Structure 1
Amino acid sequence: MGCVRNILCTKSKSPIFVSPDITVFEALELMYEKNIGAILVMEQGEFIGIFTERDYARKVILKGRASKEILVGEIMTENPVTVSSSNSIEDCMRLMTDKFIRHLPVIDDGKLMGIVSIGDVVKYIIEEQKFIIENMEHYIKGEV
């Protein structure tokens, strides 16, 4: 099975991030526009946390707070679980399952490289299995 680097190479976009001092509402607008479920939080070029739809649901909506008044920095997840680009896809699946998370920031030597979602992992596994099956079919048919 491949590694996180393989997934990052297939993602054409650079990671989307926000400052901790924007409102939750503004972050949600950006997440909606980009069709993403989590956004990285950066301050002065340094990765400091992640803001997810789950943070919004649990820390804003369920507590009756107003998204136009709360800053991302107040409710983001600080020091989230991260991986490096050399971690295996299996590592990601295990972490996501064990920690009940859907997004893993990718950090190499202290530098933010991107983010991997559960959707990215599932897509990678499906593509890898499809490739293996096609190769086996060619082998069985004697087309190798």
Structure 2
Amino acid sequence: MKVSDILRVKGGTLYTCHPDDTLIQSAATMAQFDIGSLAVMEHGELVGMLTFREVIHTLAKNNGVLGTRAVRAVMDDHPMSCTPETELDEVRPLMLERHTRYMPVMDNKMLMGVISFYDVAKAVVDSQNFENKMLKAYIRDWPEDETGKTEPNFP
């Protein structure tokens, strides 16, 4: 399964902010849409990612006050990314190893979407459920042998 399969199911909605937006504005957007990240875009290009992690760290450092800080001051300006053609088997260990919850999906310099660790986990579970359903259907329809038994003949 490829990252493009997740994007196809997830849909095309992309939530962004500008690096000069305030953290308060961006946190309000994240709360409004119940999302954990914003792609930070400037001049049509991805320049960083803002996640709830950066917002929480800023709150913790500043006694619960975001103030007038700009997104630029706290965003991850070198987010790990993947392409639509990247296999999920490659993405999962990277996200786990680097504790990345949100990953931009890039096609050259064009942002195609953002996948979350939840999206990846859901795709894996859905794939396994489908495989289990197919195996159960196959076992249920197991052909009879010449003696009329429907059980597999293991050595």
Alignment TM class, shorter chain as reference: over 0.9
1:132 aligns with: 131
Q: Deviations over 1:48-103 (max 9, x none)?
A: 00001111122x11211632411111110001100001111111111111111101
Q: Which residue pairs with 1:82 in the alignment?
A: 81
Secondary structure (helix, strand or coil) at the match of 1:119 reads: helix
- Superimposed CA distance per residue, residues 84-136 of structure 1 (whole angstroms, 9 cap, x where no aligned partner): 01111111111111111101100011110000100000110111011000100
In structure 2, the residue corresponding to 1:78 is in which secondary structure? coil
1:95 counterpart letter in structure 2 = L
Hey, what does 1:40 align to over in structure 2? 39
C-alpha contact (below 8 Å) 2:47/2:77 kept by paired residues? yes
**How high is the sequence identity, in percent, across the aligned residues?**
27
Q: Which amino acid aligns with 1:119?
A: Y
Distance in 2, Cα, partners of 1:96 & 1:109: 20
Give TM-score scaled by structure 1 length: 0.93
Task: Using the TM superposition, give the Cα deviation of residue 143 of structure 1 relative to its aligned residue in structure 2, in angstroms.
Answer: 7.9
Matched positions, count: 142
Q: Tell me, which stretches of 5 or more residues in structure 2 are unaligned? A: 144-155
CA contact (8 A) 2:41 2:48 kept: yes
Where structure 1 has 5 or more consecutive residues not aligned to the other structure, the ranges are: none
Alpha-carbon RMSD across the aligned residues, in angstroms, is 1.5
Q: Partners of 1:34 and 1:114 in 2: how far apart?
A: 16
Higher relative contact order (CA 8 A, sep 6+): 1
Question: Which residue of 2 is the match for residue 61 of structure 1?
Answer: 59
Letter in 2 for 1:64: N
Runs of 4 or more consecutive aligned structure 1 residues displaced over 3 Å after TM superposition: none
Once residues 117 and 105 of structure 1 are traced to their aligned partners in structure 2, the CA distance between those partners, rounded to angstroms, is 9
TM-score for the superposition, normalised by structure 2: 0.87
Q: Is contact 2:12–2:113 with CA below 8 Å preserved after alignment?
A: no
